Structure 1
Amino acid sequence: MVIGLKGFACNANPLFKGEAILKILVVSDIHYPDRRADIPDLSSFIEKSDLIFATGDFTCAEVLDYLKSFKKQVVAVHGNADDPFLKTTLPENLTVEVKNVKIGLYHGSGTPIRIASRVKNIFDCQLDAYIFGHTHIPLNKLINGKLFFNPGTISGFRSSLGMLYIDSGNIRGEI
């Protein structure tokens, strides 16, 4: 199942309730096939996660199909390099609520300079975490008590991805 309806509303879709620590795999900027010869094998990471966040630049729908093939819930937005099908299927941004944590997903735009501010300004409400990509530069930083998280890119020289952990209304990230 892919979450992502066209348009944006600050009333987040509630996902996952319960007591256990929730593990979320975060991927962005896979860029297959334009910058990679193959879709990377993410199976070991996906198997350890409860949910998948993907912040765009898959480039083609085959990457999204690969993520969905693991039968985990996929929450995805499109990126600037995605094909027209993905841009019409996935939203530009969205919010979800996971175990009482409000999270915004957006691919990103522009240069890395002040990207956290630009990402925050896309959303018209206060969130606990802002998840994005675009710059290919990993970021895992608390700013004024809010998490700004960019997993980096799987298609670069220094490939990276991220994991988010949600427990008792708190969120933390690892790259």
Structure 2
Amino acid sequence: MRLLLMSDTHLPLRAKALPPALLDEIPRADVVLHAGDWVDTATLDLLEARSRRLVGVHGNNDGPALRARLPEVAYADLDGLRFGVVHETGPAAGREARCAARFPHLDVLVFGHSHIPWDTTAPSGLRLLNPGSPTDRRRQPHCTYLTATVADGELTDVELHRLPPRS
């Protein structure tokens, strides 16, 4: 099972559209996970139309229309792994312990908010993944997203993709 992870698309505030390289990945994914801050409903509509399966949450920049359609936390069992998706996890310091305590039933937690790619594993075994942002790199050198594979209850091939600068 191929996964595509993204967050913090902030359309149309930070970009007018999702990058072509990211759009090309959507139909290749069995599941698309979006960790919030869509900003517009058109992006949600686009991902719902193009994705085989979409798991998404709202973020702090998402208004009433998105909050009506998306939960604050989403859960999915994907080929034997228990996934959670949430927008905010608080400061980097203590993140692993805080998330492991909040989500003791999960194997993988996908989150956003910081626009900073993150891939760590808590002592409890919880894997924490932040794909960064495909449209707003902030203080990062590149806009990014993640892909991964789930097979037989294992997460493998987690890859951070750097997107070319917008022209």
Distance 1:37 1:92, change over 3 A: same
Match of 2:159 in 1: 174
**Alpha carbon RMSD of aligned pairs, Å?**
1.7
Unpaired segments ≥5 residues, structure 2: 161-167
- Match 2:143 to one of 146, 156, 159: 159
Conservation of the 8 A alpha-carbon contact between 1:108 and 1:115? no
1:91 maps to 71
Shift of 1:109: 4.6
Among 40, 44, 55, the residue aligned to 1:64:
44
1:1-175 to 2 correspondence within 5 Å?
22-41=1-20, 42-123=22-103, 125-144=104-123, 145-157=125-137, 158-172=142-156, 173-175=158-160
Please state how far the C-alpha of 1:96 moved relative to its aligned partner: 1.2
Q: CA deviation at 1:154?
A: 1.0
Deviation at 1:71, TM superposition (A): 4.3
How many equivalent pairs are there? 153
Give the unaligned 5+ runs of structure 1.
1-21
Counterpart Cα distance in 2 of 1:36 and 1:113: 30
**Structure 2: distance between partners of 1:162 and 1:100:** 20
Task: Tell me which residue corresponds to 1:6.
Answer: none
Q: In 2, Cα distance between the equivalents of 1:81 and 1:52? A: 20
Contact 1:130 1:147 in 2 (8 A): yes
Q: SS in structure 2 opposite 1:156?
A: coil
Q: What is the TM-score of this pair, normalised by structure 1?
A: 0.79
Contact 1:95/1:103 (8 A) holds in 2: yes
Fraction of identical pairs, as percent:
29
Question: 1:121 & 1:35 partners in 2: Cα distance?
Answer: 34
How far apart, CA to CA, are the structure 1 residues paired with 2:3 and 2:25? 9
Q: What is the letter of the counterpart of residue 23 of structure 1? A: R
**Higher helix proportion, which one?**
2
User: Runs of 4+ in structure 1 displaced over 6 angstroms?
Assistant: none
